Amino acid sequence: MIESTAETVRDTTAEEVDAIATAAAAAAAPWAAMALTDRAAVLRGVADRLDAHAAELVPLAMRETHLAEPRLLGELRRTSFQLRLFAQLVLDGDFLDVRIDTADPEWPMGAPRPDLRRMNVALGPVVNFAASNFPFAFSVAGGDTASALAAGCPVIVKASPGHPLLSRAVGNLIDQTLAEYGAPGRTFGLVFGRDAGVRALTHPAVAAAAFTGSTAGGRALYDLASRRPVPIPFYGELGSINPVFVTPEAAGTQAAEIASGLLTAVSASAGQLCTKPGLVAIPEEAPLFSALAELIRERPVPTGEMLNAEIAGGFARAVERVRAHPNVELLAGGGPDEAMLLATTARTVLKDPDALLHEMFGPATLLVSYRHTGELLELARSVGGQLTVSIFGDRVDDTVRALTAAAVSAAGRVLWNSWPTGLSVTFAQQHGGPYPATTAPTTTSVGTAAIARFLRPVTYQSVPEDLLPLELRTDNPLSVPRSVNGARPR
Amino acid sequence: MIESTAETVRDTTAEEVDAIATAAAAAAAPWAAMALTDRAAVLRGVADRLDAHAAELVPLAMRETHLAEPRLLGELRRTSFQLRLFAQLVLDGDFLDVRIDTADPEWPMGAPRPDLRRMNVALGPVVNFAASNFPFAFSVAGGDTASALAAGCPVIVKASPGHPLLSRAVGNLIDQTLAEYGAPGRTFGLVFGRDAGVRALTHPAVAAAAFTGSTAGGRALYDLASRRPVPIPFYGELGSINPVFVTPEAAGTQAAEIASGLLTAVSASAGQLCTKPGLVAIPEEAPLFSALAELIRERPVPTGEMLNAEIAGGFARAVERVRAHPNVELLAGGGPDEAMLLATTARTVLKDPDALLHEMFGPATLLVSYRHTGELLELARSVGGQLTVSIFGDRVDDTVRALTAAAVSAAGRVLWNSWPTGLSVTFAQQHGGPYPATTAPTTTSVGTAAIARFLRPVTYQSVPEDLLPLELRTDNPLSVPRSVNGARPR
């Protein structure tokens, strides 16, 4: 049963946070020690409960976030799918990265090699700061929670203030599932309020944290995590402009597709996506420019209401900051709950990147006109760390190759003739990138590789069989994949 | 030719550091783009040059570090072996972690999956802070340099002040090898002096840093790295006490072996090893206790001179700090260049862990007597983050299982009836651990997995074949191992 009748959820007190963190620390060893099949069953159990309660959860999410029903139904499906994908990952065992080196008296290093057996273990309690814009997929039972639980870590979620009742309802479903499978009850905890989040992050029992949100908020938490007496890994997914570079050729031949695709990508979910394209470079005087303006003038693109007043206020301030620049004009749109196109020149952006390479989290994008491909390339090399860079082109030529090289330097994901919104949850996904896109460029927060953030390796040296964990025993009773003496795992 | 006639090496100026960092940034793309066979050839070329110049390098190292010739010859062999092991790793291609998801319109997430292809790319210029205690293996051409170059990153080494002439000589060999293989010359840089190191670490062109040294020094640099406008990963291997827990049974049956093994482990390289056991828990009134005292009183264990006056001074201060405790006594040893045994009780350590769980980087260890196994377990659960924990026991019983669980929680490597010194460079090695052992518990600084520190993943979405890097093309012209649609790599 979902409890969701209360109208507000009060902030968690400092004493309650301490109790939750201490309980999570106590749950760490038993949760990590549960059989992988049980761990996978819990993840699937949460997925099943989410699906079973869709009829209650989705309306609750609609009320708290103003997002539309189809979007939320799709997001819920994505969320339960994601939990099941991590369950499968747990069963496959590859995430353990088991490596066995047999003793070798002739090891050419110059000293005999002892028997060494290495596997990943859970890092310990993780604090996840939930995002406001994906009330299911990046929130209480979202990717950070799924990957940390899959790694064997207890999870404390700091709920988004944007959907507290939904957060509590989903938290209850997780609690029920843990109880059903006999997992330690405090493997999962939920806290509300900014102070509670900070207290959890700085609690000595906490071993890592994940965050999805703004650059300013994420950096402040990263600083807290790094300044602890015992610093901890902080996996922050912060801001990204997700630049789109349109070659002169594509601006002609693909004008209609790019125009309509851009308007969809900018307006979907009221532009409140971390992968929303916020800068689109187009050759000056390209037909695409006027096509876009006309399209949006003829038929304004409705976006729906924003998530909440705080997000709407932040968006208004970000837009104001960009519009205040003397060389930026409002090209079209921008009425209430309507997509907005701003315009400037590549020269302007290159002269004043700090003012203009600034995320507007909402339904707006900045069209940047360039005079020649040299300017386009200069722009591409100046955008800084990004989650995504998209290139629209007709053929692979030197300009496109140079754009791609710049994109790979800047971003975690590089797209060709496609829009970065609509992030697939799968094996080869990379949702990350150099700072400020994230605080941890070697990791991803979406896709199966996200589990690696919450694992650390331990090597057992010359440990007898009956003292080894099952994963490392010579007869491999769990049949986990293993790499022996450097060979590929099997 | 090795230049090693100058008597001193001056500090690198700020302008020189800036030039080196800027040049490293310019070298990043061409070095990362060199064929993997060429990258491997450079690593092997450095190894060959080190071996070829042993007759000049080893005497230089002896003069600068006071370490003995056999130790340095062994270390040089380990260092060139390590470079060749990373060369092999580069050729194998597993480090690229190539993952391919084919387009799937039926992907059960609820939205069609596009074609996604993911691989690791080099992070960018890396600053390595060389250690003083391994003038080859953890210095200019040591593990951090080998793994970063193998990852495709330019490297700037901040030389240890302990062996500047050797550092310059080895740096010259690396430069010569890069030139021989047509690599960008500034793929490698070398800077001297504390200020130069800080300037390199905080230079905008630098993307990551690695460090081996003291907790205080490492933490200060970690803080600088985290407080940059663009924070960067800082892989610091800091302090470790490497506790050894001897069960009551083993203290009886293995007394002679443990006594002699301990004295060797504490005195080797004058105790200047990050894996030197600094705390040994033994049951009170065990024969081992008196055996050790007698052994060392009868025949003091010579250690040789320490690396330099700064290290010797730091060791003297650390010993003084521990000895100042009213419940700590000098059991035996401690004459000039002689191993030293201090003694206290588990009660004392548990009451005052901050004072007594303190690394003494030199030939000293603290024997800690416990009254019963409950006290032993309490101690094992209180030691904090460690590189290693060793357990000496006769049979696997509940005490040993509980000790092992505590060891896995605390450390990156857990040993049975073995000493943690003498670290094997191999596939299953883990040299790392929770803070303060390291600042990055999910990584290792020794063994093949060390390369992962300097890589970040990039996903190509719907990118045409002729724009993909060779590693990601469908026909796999480089025959790199790849995971397709989540299957195990082949």
Give the whole-angstrom CA distance, residue B99 versus residue B119.
Answer: 7
Is B464 exposed, middle or buried, given 0-12, 13-18 or 19+ CB atoms closer than 10 A?
A: middle
Are the C-beta atoms of residues A238 and A215 closer than 8 Å to each other?
yes
Query: Which residues of chain A from 378 to 407 reach within 8 Å of chain B, CB to CB?
Result: 385, 396, 400-401, 404-405
Instruction: Please pick, among B64, B237, B359, B471, the residue that the annotation labels catalytic.
Output: B237
- Interface predicted TM-score of the whole assembly (ipTM), two decimals: 0.97
A105 reaches B (C-beta below 8 A): no
Give the whole-angstrom CA distance, residue B65 versus residue B80.
Answer: 19
B166 reaches A (C-beta below 8 A): no
CA A277 distance to own-chain centroid: 16
Q: Which of A190, A116, A334, A194 is nearest to B446 (CA)?
A: A116
Is A2 exposed, middle or buried, given 0-12, 13-18 or 19+ CB atoms closer than 10 A?
A: middle
* Cα-based torsion angle of the residue sequence B9, B12, B13, B19 in order, rounded to the nearest 10 degrees: 140
Give the whole-angstrom CA distance, residue A332 versus residue A340.
Answer: 6
Q: Which among B101, B114, B408 has CB closest to A427? A: B101
Residue B456: is its pLDDT beyond 80? yes
Half-sphere exposure of B84 (CA within 13 A, CB side): 13
Q: Closest-CA residue in chain B for A83? A: B109
Question: Do the strands B155-158 and B126-129 form a parallel or antiparallel pair, or are they unpaired?
Answer: parallel
Left, alpha or beta for A477 (phi > 0: left; psi -120 to 50: alpha)?
Answer: alpha
Give the whole-angstrom CA distance, residue A269 versus residue B201.
Answer: 41
Give the whole-angstrom CA distance, residue A355 versus residue B99.
Answer: 37
Q: Which among B113, B427, B429 has CB closest to A485? A: B427
Whether the CA torsion A234, A240, A246, A247 is positive or negative: it is: negative
**Higher model confidence: residue B155 or residue A296?**
B155
Give the whole-angstrom CA distance, residue A211 versus residue A241.
Answer: 18
CA A427 distance to own-chain centroid: 14
Q: Closest-CA residue in chain B for A404? A: B467
Q: Which among A99, A101, A428 has CB closest to B101? A: A428
Q: Closest-CA residue in chain B for A413? A: B459
Residue keyed to tokens 């968006």: A315
Q: Taking CB atoms and an 8 Å limit, are B222 and A230 in contact across chains?
A: no
Helix axes A54-65, A69-92, angle to 10 degrees: 120
Which class would CATH give B244-416? alpha beta
Are the C-beta atoms of residues A471 and A167 closer than 8 Å to each other?
no
Distance from CA of B321 to the nearest CA of A (A): 21
Give the whole-angstrom CA distance, residue B373 versus residue B379.
Answer: 10
Left, alpha or beta for A4 (phi > 0: left; psi -120 to 50: alpha)?
Answer: alpha
Q: How many CB pairs under 8 A join A and B?
A: 252
Give the whole-angstrom CA distance, residue A154 versus residue A156.
Answer: 7
Range B406-429 average pLDDT? 97
Distance from CA of B448 to the nearest CA of A (A): 9
| Residues ≥6 apart with Cβ < 8 Å to B354 | none
A413 reaches B (C-beta below 8 A): yes
Q: Taking CB atoms and an 8 Å limit, are A111 and B459 in contact across chains?
A: no
- Would you state the pLDDT for residue A283? 96
Q: Which of B336, B257, B251, B352 is nearest to B302 (CA)?
A: B336
- Would you state the pLDDT for residue B8? 79
**Higher model confidence: residue B301 or residue B24?**
B24
Q: Which of B404, B408, B383, B382 is nearest to B392 (CA)?
A: B404
Name the strands in the sheet holding B364-370, side by side, starting at the edge strand that comes first in the sequence: A482-484, A98-101, A116-122, A455-461, B411-416, B386-392, B244-246, B279-283, B364-370, B340-345, B329-333
A204 reaches B (C-beta below 8 A): no
Chain A residues touching B121 at Cβ < 8 A: 408
- Other C-beta atoms lying within 10 Å of the C-beta of residue A208: 25
* Three-state helix/strand/coil letters over A398-432: HHHHHHHHHHHHHEEEEEECCCCCCCCCCCCCCCC
Identify whether A237 is a catalytic site residue. Answer: yes
Mean pLDDT by 10 residues, chain A (490 residues): 59 98 98 97 98 98 96 97 98 97 96 97 98 97 98 98 97 97 95 98 98 96 98 97 97 93 94 97 88 81 92 95 95 88 96 94 96 98 98 98 98 98 97 98 98 98 98 97 95
Are the C-beta atoms of residues B34 and B74 closer than 8 Å to each other?
no
B29 reaches A (C-beta below 8 A): yes
Q: In the predicted model, what is the mean pLDDT of chain B?
A: 95
A448 reaches B (C-beta below 8 A): yes
Give the whole-angstrom CA distance, residue B478 versus residue B39.
Answer: 14
Amino acid at A434: P
Distance from CA of A329 to the nearest CA of B (A): 30
Q: Which of B262, B289, B290 is nearest to B278 (CA)?
A: B262
CA A339 distance to own-chain centroid: 24
Residue B304: is its pLDDT beyond 90? no
A32 reaches B (C-beta below 8 A): no
- Would you state the pLDDT for residue B2? 43
Are the C-beta atoms of residues A452 and A95 closer than 8 Å to each other?
yes
A15 to A18, A195, B2: CA distances (angstroms): 5, 12, 64
Is A229 exposed, middle or buried, given 0-12, 13-18 or 19+ CB atoms closer than 10 A?
A: exposed
Residue B7: is its pLDDT beyond 80? no
Give the whole-angstrom CA distance, residue A429 versus residue A387.
Answer: 12
Q: Which among A101, A223, A412 has CB closest to B458? A: A412
Residue B297: is its pLDDT beyond 90? no
- Would you state the pLDDT for residue B5? 45
Residue B132: is its pLDDT beyond 60? yes
Q: Closest-CA residue in chain B for A116? A: B428
Q: Which among A109, A114, A444 has CB closest to B81? A: A109
Are the C-beta atoms of residues B183 and B38 closer than 8 Å to each other?
yes
A438 to A209, A210, A234, A420, B319: CA distances (angstroms): 13, 10, 10, 16, 42
Query: Which residues of chain A from 450 to 479 reach within 8 Å of chain B, CB to CB?
Result: 452-453, 455-464, 466-467
A449 reaches B (C-beta below 8 A): yes
Distance from CA of B367 to the nearest CA of A (A): 23
Q: Taking CB atoms and an 8 Å limit, are A427 and B385 in contact across chains?
A: no
Domain at B14-238+441-484, CATH homologous superfamily: Aldehyde Dehydrogenase; Chain A, domain 1 (3.40.605.10)
Q: Which among A459, A489, A490 has CB closest to B412? A: A459
- Would you state the pLDDT for residue A4? 42
Q: Which of A118, A446, A195, A260 is nearest to B432 (CA)?
A: A118
Tokens representing residue B70 in the block: 């056999």
Residue B272: is its pLDDT beyond 60? yes
Are the C-beta atoms of residues B425 and B450 closer than 8 Å to each other?
no
Are the C-beta atoms of residues B359 and B239 closer than 8 Å to each other?
yes
- Would you state the pLDDT for residue A7? 64
Q: Taking CB atoms and an 8 Å limit, are A29 and B409 in contact across chains?
A: yes
Distance from CA of B11 to the nearest CA of A (A): 30
Give the whole-angstrom CA distance, residue B476 versus residue B480.
Answer: 7
Q: Which of A449, A417, A359, A353 is nearest to A133 (CA)?
A: A359
Give the whole-angstrom CA distance, residue A378 versus residue A373.
Answer: 8
B37 reaches A (C-beta below 8 A): no
B417 reaches A (C-beta below 8 A): yes
Are the C-beta atoms of residues B338 and B301 closer than 8 Å to each other?
yes
Identify whether B359 is a catalytic site residue. Answer: no
Q: What's A113's DSSP letter?
A: B
- Would you state the pLDDT for residue B30? 97
Backbone angles phi, psi at A256, to 5 degrees: -65, -45
Three-class SS state of B426: coil
Residue B4: is its pLDDT beyond 50? no
Instruction: Please pick, among A64, A75, A237, A471, the residue that the annotation labels catalytic.
Output: A237
Chain A residues touching B449 at Cβ < 8 A: 99, 118, 457
DSSP H or E stretch at residue B146: helix B143-151
Give the whole-angstrom CA distance, residue B263 versus residue B247.
Answer: 18
Is A476 exposed, middle or buried, given 0-12, 13-18 or 19+ CB atoms closer than 10 A?
A: middle
Distance from CA of A11 to the nearest CA of B (A): 30
Chain B residues touching A439 at Cβ < 8 A: 231
Chain A residues touching B78 at Cβ < 8 A: 109-111
Q: Which alpha helices (DSSP H) does A66-152 contain, by range? A: 69-92, 143-151
Question: Do the strands B364-370 and B279-283 form a parallel or antiparallel pair, or are they unpaired?
Answer: parallel
Q: Provide long-range contacts, Cβ within 8 A and 24+ apart, for B310-314.
A: B310/B161, B310/B162, B311/B132, B311/B133, B311/B162, B311/B272, B311/B361, B311/B362, B312/B362, B314/B214, B314/B361, B314/B362
Give the whole-angstrom CA distance, residue A437 versus residue A241.
Answer: 9
Query: Which residues of chain A from 333 to 372 reach within 8 Å of chain B, CB to CB?
Result: none
Distance from CA of A415 to the nearest CA of B (A): 5
The residues spanned by each domain of chain A are 14-238+441-484, 244-416
